[in-house]
A = this chain, B = another copy of it.
Amino acid sequence: MLKKKGIVTVISGFSGAGKGTIVKHLMADHHNIYNLSISATSRSPRVGEEEGVDYFFKTKEEFEQMIERGELLEYTLFNGNYYGTPKSYVEEITASGKDVILEIEINGALQVKKFFPQALLLFVTPPDAITLRDRLVGRGTEAIDVIEQRLALSYEQSFNMSEYDYLIVNDDLNSCVDLVHSIISAEKYRCFRNTDNIKEMQNELKIFSKGELK
């Protein structure tokens, strides 16, 4: 009993929360369990980028056809280029019993949940707003008014937090990575992910309840 199905886990959260680093370490620690989803994009490959490894590269027309045919779990237009998650790739992996990790923005995460209600949504946040501001400032890459825009966006995004399944407070990287792994591991035992096993038990008990014991 207990055939484990692959779980689609979406990791997103505030910009500056450290979700990229968490995903990188999660993949390094458990590469035999998790598969990172590969995005499709209409932007041109950069030097060293490989088709089917870094991205599935598409023309703008091909990407728009994918949108029309409903082949994307979520997509966004950024700086004139499309980025999105192909449904087929995610379905192939989960069908084989392996888990998929998606690291995407909040809008995308909520789009995925509509497609796959069983997807697991993790929201990564720093312990408090001061830490979030300090991390953005500490990067030293953005002007103060850009940082303020990001904090204003984070405030708007904070109203989506309750639509997520779990809240991951990133105060220590290693414990965060372990927490994400234990949450996904525990989720495999949810009853709604084990309906086949429940039905199997019901069928077996039906036979025994008919007095086949004697």
Contacts and interface: CB of A to CB of B under 8 A. Distances in A.
Interface stretch (A31-39, A75-83, A179-187): A179-187
Interface string A194-207: 11011011101111
A48 interface: no
A57 interface: no
A123 to B, nearest CB: 7
Of listed A159, A185, A198, A211, residue having the most chain B CB within 10 A: A198
A186 B181 CA distance: 10
A75 B45 CA distance: 65
A194 to B, nearest CB: 5
Contacts of A183: 186, 189
A9 B133 CA distance: 38
A161 B191 contact: yes
A168 interface: yes
Given A127-B1, A144-B213, A198-B167, A162 B192 contact: yes
A201 to B, nearest CB: 6
B202 A155 contact: yes
Contact of A197 (B148, B167, B179, B204): B167
A130 interface: yes
A200 B161 CA distance: 12
A133 B204 CA distance: 11
A67 to B, nearest CB: 30
Contact of A129 (B151, B169, B205): B205
6 contacts: A128-B201, A158-B205, A161-B191, A162-B198, A167-B190, A183-B189
Please provide the 8 A-B residue pairs with the shortest distance between their CB atoms, ordered closest to farther.
A129-B204, A155-B209, A155-B205, A152-B209, A186-B186, A158-B202, A151-B208, A183-B186
